[in-house]
Chain A
Amino acid sequence: MTVSTGTGAPVDQTRVALGQPLRIALLHGRGDGSRRTVAHLALASAAEIVASVRASDSRHFVAAAQALREARPEVVVVHADAKDEAPLAELLEALRLGCAAQQPAPRILALVETRLGEALRRRAYPFEFERFADAPALVGTLRALRRAGSDDVVLRDALIEDGARSLAATTATTALAVDVSDRSTSLVLAHPDGQIEAAHLVPLGVGDGADHIVARAGLDNVRRWLPWPIDAPALLERVWSRVRWPAAPSLTEAAILFEMALAREAIAHALRDAAEAGLDVGAMRSAPAILITGRAASFPRGSQSLLVVADGLEPTGVSTVFREPDEGRAERIAMIVSVTLKRAAKVRFMRAAGRSEARVVPGSFGFVAIAGDVDVAVNGPGVRGHGRSGALGVLIDARGRPLSLPARDSERIPAVSGWHEAVGATAAARGTS
């Protein structure tokens, strides 16, 4: 990647990368708030969580120590309140028993108050212990560790955050960046004032992180998005082969649809983890501007990227969707209007050129060919919003939230095929359109 620093200025060569994988263990207090805080820190720093231990963990001392030894953490992130000092001290003893001989020894980074920090510092001997007063500083340290001293590396997660901030500033609304790459999945919600909430899940992607999607979501949850029947062993073999050769580009339609299925589940699981870490998932789903990047933005057709986001993210409002492939230019692809209906309703579109209406029935899913700036209002559910449709027009998604798929193949496959065809994501649909 080349970054220009201005006219006539020298051009800096930089590399965009995920950085060095960072294995972190989370030790947290008994409260849910503490669990959410450490989870948020891990997600914000794109570290790989290898162990998570609560101060009131039911495992006995030796089992906790053994789990920490097998996890081989490079960094241990600690967060707790003063009342958790005693159980946390016990966990640090388990860490000493489990990881004292580990080379290099894990570093302990604690987001705790000063007094507790001093108490824990003594108990953390012989590990390096660092106390942080605020979360951004701790996240910055974790990112510096991932950069491993390579100043020319631009971390992919930082770049996505910049993209989300920039979109929020440009559109003066909240913006969500959705990135799915080979080994990571990111959701970054940026506000116009520059504040962000970020969740970067590693390793969870459509390349060498694909088997983690299957391990987390289950094979059936990936299979349900495919518009053709496939048996579980064949699908699993496909996933594992993709993991071994992640760089192979998806050339056939089957491979593309398979990658789309993985990307949907990756986004859905990123949302779930973000919700567990206390991030505002509701705001992510209702963001007026959505930017798709990475492999999810690199499908041959914009409608394929759009369908992945519509199914994986399940937006709830009116959103303008952009996509920016790794090796391509950003483009506005469509507007999504998501409505949950109990009975038929009317959607009103107001443009400079005039007004128009469309009748929407529950379960309908398809494009309305409208270009330019559009104000949308749906009677009934009270959905209103403003956006700009892209090359594809306005996608009306009345499938309902949460999106549920029929369990039986005989009902599910026609439904999923229908959605693919409705947006032109398959060759068959393109042939008929």
Chain B
Amino acid sequence: MTWRRESWTADHPLPIGVTKRAQVGEPVRAGDIIAAGATVTSALRVSGARRLGLSPEDLGRELRVRVGTDVVAGTVLARTGRRFARSVTAPIDGRLLHATVDGDLYIAPIVDRWAVRATLDGVVARSDDAIVTIEGEAWGIQGAAAYGPDAIGELTLVVDGPLAEVAPARIDVRLGGRIIVGGARVSAEVITRAHACGIAGLVAGGAPPAGLRVVYGDTVTAFGLPTREERSMPTVLCLIGFAAVPLPLSIYGPLAEMAGARAAIHTASARLFVFATADVGKRDAASPEDAREGDRQPSPSLAERDEVGAADSDLEAVQTGEELIPSADVPSLRER
């Protein structure tokens, strides 16, 4: 397990009911919506080809509405003839979901909408109704297991070193929308508190299996549990394992270096992507882990930052949630 800057691919499986999706070759940034659609429920089967007196193969020619389109009750779905016309109309508001081999049509009511966001800066390499794959260059690290939905946010360090465990008190709403680096281990209390505070995701050396079971249920396994719904579950990436595992300096150092950069957790592959420049931290460095310990200036802890922020009244403020906080608390690489 090591940091690598290279071209990665990230698969984004899509649920049924896709309305629009990014096309192959389209450039995207992490966090962009790459597919959106409707959540549909119990579908109605409507007689199509038989009602029109057609063979099932000919139904497609007579469809007035493309499969996958939203329709309202009474919409003519297919029609034949001129003077003695026969038609098939939508019995309900919903989506024309599927045409069967027999030439029947499924229409399902729409109960919700969904969106899938990119977890990588890059271009769309594959796009169909089942999956959108993005290929792009980033700093990346392969973790052991990840849980919850994909997460995108600013990488933020809340521990003082690789051996430290994050205390629940360090988590508050000011960190909302960020990906928190939690040091050696994050407890169930930290996970639930982070979720309640709207934190995008947690990255740590490990997380206790019993705590993960409390949060994600008894069926969770050591191989992770990617989920789809945003915000319904917290996101946790265990980089090394499940015990309290001190992060090696070769992992923690670059994390500290890149604090403030945009990042994404791709839970299906258990990877953390960080969108920082190639020479982050050290001008001639090929990789963050190659940087010498002495050359590195790890990000200050939140407590230290609070002191700095309080002393520096000229700092520009940024809005996070309902509070204004100095932008020194969200250092970006541009500012270094």
> Taking beta carbons and an 8 Å cutoff, which residues of A are in contact with B?
60-63, 65-66, 69-70, 89, 93, 96-103, 122-123, 125, 211-212, 215, 218, 232-233, 236-237, 239-241, 243-244
Residue numbers in A under 8 Å from B211 (CB-CB): 233
Whether A62 lies near B97 (C-beta < 8 A) is: yes
In-complex Cβ contact of B129 among A101, A218, A237, A239 (8 A): A101
Whether B100 lies near A237 (C-beta < 8 A) is: no
In-complex Cβ contact of B98 among A93, A103, A211, A241 (8 A): A93
Residue numbers in A under 8 Å from B222 (CB-CB): 211, 239-240, 243-244
Residue numbers in A under 8 Å from B15 (CB-CB): 66, 69
* 14 residue pairs A–B, Cβ–Cβ below 8 Å: A62-B42, A62-B108, A96-B101, A99-B130, A101-B130, A101-B131, A125-B101, A211-B223, A212-B221, A232-B210, A233-B211, A237-B208, A237-B210, A237-B243
> Taking beta carbons and an 8 Å cutoff, which residues of B are in contact with A?
13, 15-16, 40-43, 45, 97-98, 100-102, 106, 108, 128-131, 144, 208-211, 213, 218-219, 221-223, 241-243
A interface secondary structure, majority: helix
B42's nearest neighbour on chain A, judged by CB, is A60
Q: How far is the CA of A212 from the CA of B218 in the complex (A)?
A: 11
Q: How far is the CA of A70 from the CA of B106 in the complex (A)?
A: 20
4 A-B pairs besides A101-B128, A240-B222, A241-B241 with CB distance below 8 A are A62-B43, A103-B128, A215-B221, A233-B209
Residue numbers in A under 8 Å from B208 (CB-CB): 233, 237
Q: How far is the CA of A103 from the CA of B131 in the complex (A)?
A: 10
Residue numbers in A under 8 Å from B241 (CB-CB): 240-241, 244
In-complex Cβ contact of A96 among B13, B98, B131, B210 (8 A): B98
Residue numbers in B under 8 Å from A61 (CB-CB): 42-43, 45, 106, 108
B17's nearest neighbour on chain A, judged by CB, is A62
Whether B209 lies near A97 (C-beta < 8 A) is: no
A212's nearest neighbour on chain B, judged by CB, is B221
User: If the complex has contacts A236-B210, A240-B209, A240-B242, are A93 and B221 also in contact, measured as CB distance less than 8 A?
Assistant: no
B213 to chain A, nearest CB (A): 7
B188's nearest neighbour on chain A, judged by CB, is A233
Residue numbers in B under 8 Å from A243 (CB-CB): 221-223
Whether B40 lies near A62 (C-beta < 8 A) is: yes
Residue numbers in B under 8 Å from A103 (CB-CB): 128, 130-131
A243's nearest neighbour on chain B, judged by CB, is B222
Residue numbers in B under 8 Å from A123 (CB-CB): 101-102
Most B Cβ at <10 Å: residue of A62, A65, A103 = A62
B143 to chain A, nearest CB (A): 11
User: If the complex has contacts A60-B41, A233-B209, A236-B209, are A97 and B242 also in contact, measured as CB distance less than 8 A?
Assistant: no
Whether A93 lies near B210 (C-beta < 8 A) is: no
Q: How far is the CA of A125 from the CA of B57 in the complex (A)?
A: 12
Whether B209 lies near A239 (C-beta < 8 A) is: yes
Whether A93 lies near B41 (C-beta < 8 A) is: no
Whether B144 lies near A244 (C-beta < 8 A) is: yes
A368 to chain B, nearest CB (A): 43
B266 to chain A, nearest CB (A): 17
